[in-house]
Amino acid sequence: MRRTVVTVSIHAVLLLSAVLTLLPLLWMVSASLMPPGEASALPPRLLPSRPTLEHYGSLLSRLKLAQSLFNSAFLATVTTAIALFLNSMAGYAFAKLRFAGRDRLFRGLLAALVIPGQVAMLPLFLMLKQMGVVNTYWGVIIPGMASVFGIFLVRQYALSIPDSLLDAARIDGAGEFRIYRSLVLYVCAPILVTLAVFTFMGTWNDFLWPLVVLTDDGMYTLPVALANLAGEHVQDTELMMAGAVLAVLPVMLLFIVLQRYYVAGIMSGGVKE
């Protein structure tokens, strides 16, 4: 009897917490479908009286959010591709190849983990300005091309590749790059998916750096465009909620599909972002 009471109350608390956790997201979706003004009506409504997609329409056409959506998707995809390539090569080499200064270089890179990104930001901006890439896609991509976290993640995974496997390939006459391309990448596939999910979401969700380096609204990523709109359209609750859905939905779907890999990344890294 006591057991049943405990079981029921634990589930009740869990269910309530789950509802409270989901509430802001559910309200966001619901409000984005309401006709103008309904989200701030009194008494408040939880569901739209007649669902409409008009806010998505005006965001994508009139307010140029389609361009921001494209910018975000493009930048996240390209950054992820480059980061996967550079980090996997370096991570594999740190784990399995012998070369002078390897361990010293690796320790030096790990030291970067204690330096917050904001410290490098001001000179980086001036540097990219000199290079003429401020307000271009490169301005966003360049700082994300390689990361210590990514290298570390791949290295830890690649340590478990048996040397005999690599040596066998060498005896067969395969060059080092060939081994990396057709053997290492294949063996490391799970951790590369993890790294891809992290990099894609990190780039998609990033705010401070794109805010700094992108100055034209045609170049804005979704978070920057959204923060900008939030200032101009304070009263248009439903419109802003549609914008929030556009930003949140893609990464959320990506997470739901690739959840397993994302969680693996948290466990093997223990590092945020």
Partner 1 sequence: MMRRGMKPGHAFVAPAAIAIGVFFFIPALASLLLSFTDFDIYAVADLGRLRFVGLANYARLLGEARFWTALWNTLYFVFIGGPLSVAVSLGAALLVNARVVRLKPVFRMIFFLPVVTTLVAVAVVWRYLYHPRHGLLNLMLAWIGIGPIDWLGDRFWAMPAIILMAVWKNFGFNMIIFLAGLQSIPERLYEAARLDGANSWQQFRGVTLPMLRPTFLFVAVMTMIGYCQLFAEPYVMTQGGPAGATLSLVLLMYEEGFRWWNMGYAAALAFTLFVLMLLFTLVQLRLRSANETTPGVGRA
Q: Whose Cβ is closer to partner 1: residue 164's or residue 177's?
A: 177
Kindly state the smallest distance separating residue 54's Cβ from partner 1, in Å.
18
User: Whose CA is closest to 226, among 208, 241, 209?
Assistant: 241
CB 200 within 8 A of CB 80: yes
Kindly state the smallest distance separating residue 95's Cβ from partner 1, in Å.
10
Kindly state the smallest distance separating residue 226's Cβ from partner 1, in Å.
5
Kindly state the smallest distance separating residue 57's Cβ from partner 1, in Å.
19
Tokens matching residue 22:
């989901």
DSSP string, 65-109: HHHHHHHHHHHHHHHHHHHHHHHHHHHHHHHH---TTHHHHHHHH
Kindly state the smallest distance separating residue 53's Cβ from partner 1, in Å.
18
Crossing angle of the two packed helices 65-96 and 148-158, in degrees rounded to 10: 50
CA 162-163-164 angle, to 5 degrees, is 90
Report the C-alpha gap between 200 and 175 in whole angstroms.
31
Kindly state the smallest distance separating residue 51's Cβ from partner 1, in Å.
18
Q: Whose Cβ is closer to partner 1: residue 54's or residue 105's?
A: 105
Q: Whose Cβ is closer to partner 1: residue 51's or residue 129's?
A: 129
Report the C-alpha gap between 88 and 186 in whole angstroms.
11
Q: Whose Cβ is closer to partner 1: residue 53's or residue 120's?
A: 120
Dihedral sign for Cα 15, 19, 22, 26, please.
Answer: positive
Kindly state the smallest distance separating residue 27's Cβ from partner 1, in Å.
6
Q: Whose Cβ is closer to partner 1: residue 120's or residue 165's?
A: 120
Report the C-alpha gap between 132 and 48 in whole angstroms.
48
Q: Whose Cβ is closer to partner 1: residue 23's or residue 66's?
A: 23
- DSSP percent split of the chain into helix, strand, coil, nearest 5: 75, 0, 25
Report the C-alpha gap between 144 and 80 in whole angstroms.
8
User: Whose CA is closest to 147, among 211, 91, 223?
Assistant: 91
Q: Whose Cβ is closer to partner 1: residue 33's or residue 245's?
A: 245
Q: Whose Cβ is closer to partner 1: residue 168's or residue 263's?
A: 263
Kindly state the smallest distance separating residue 131's Cβ from partner 1, in Å.
10
